[in-house]
Amino acid sequence: MVNLLEFETLKKFVDTVGKDIEAYLGKDDVCILCLRPEGIFYGEALVAWLKKRKKTNVVLATMEDDGADLDEKLVRGRKVLIVNNDIVTGKAYKRSMEAVRMKKKEWNIKDIKFACFFDRTGMADFAVAQYSAEAIWGLEELDAIDLKLIQYLAQNGRESFTEVAKKLRLSSVAVKNRVDKLLKEKLIRVYASLQADQFYTIAAQINVEADRKTLEQLIEKLEKCQEVYHLAKITGAYNLTVGLLARNLENIEAFVEDEIRALPGVRQAVVSTGEVPILPKTIPPKF
């Protein structure tokens, strides 16, 4: 029989949150309720760990995140711990918690909590890794309020500090101080942007292979082009990828021939075309 606790991820899960979960469960009868499909492995590993620690009044159950196939007999009169591998958007968390809460009184469920490995929303009661908004950005200079402020200003940049303060439940002085700090540290900048789909009707992804000298020349030239919305060095068969906006296929063909293939050090340029990108929706003016 496979010992799930030998798998590194599952072992890390129980090693990190196991004792906190054990303390929460106490001496009560418990149901570890796994969300299908990924949550089953974490739930089974947790049950195996609990039973090794002499917690015998624990049962395992599974369900869909909307509560489908939930077995009443396994949860009635027990504490319930819902287990999944992660929380990304929070939708599965909310659906599953609500599905069990609706039955709490009828089935005499003592309490309901949620455990997972990755928590990107901060909703879980027990998690190995919590990815707050500021952690995802990886910037110590930004906190959650800064990110909410930036998000709001990106959509409502013309509002006064007073109006922004009301929306974010801050003082207008606090908003101004935060904006000034973000500007000073060059974490944000203020500019008017262009709606890409108002100026362009087609896009192209161009993968380029060029020698090192030509690569630098291309970057220096292309980063000044208004129609270039994405430019990055890559590894593999190509060493540069270019995102291009255009009005028609003829414009794309002309750009590739005149601006890229015309350079002697370009070995190849492969073009894929499609619709105007979903993201970014806006582009900064370069003129």
Q: What is the pTM of this model?
A: 0.52
pLDDT of residue 132: 59
pLDDT of residue 115: 96
pLDDT of residue 234: 96
CA distance 73 to 128: 30
Q: Which two tokens stand for residue 102?
A: 């609706």
- pLDDT means per 10 residues, the chain with 287 residues, are 75 93 94 93 94 93 93 95 90 93 95 93 86 58 76 84 89 90 85 87 97 96 95 96 97 96 96 95 83
Residues 6+ away with beta carbon under 8 Å from 229: 196, 203, 243, 244, 245, 277, 280, 283
The residue behind tokens 């007999």 is 73
pLDDT of residue 156: 82
Q: Which two tokens stand for residue 24?
A: 């929460």
Picking from 14, 82, 9, the residue whose alpha carbon sits closest to that of residue 53 is 14
- Phi, psi at residue 61, to the nearest 5°? -140, 160
Q: Which domains does the chain have, with CATH numbers?
A: 4-130 (3.40.50.2020), 135-184 (1.10.10.10), 194-283 (3.30.70.920)
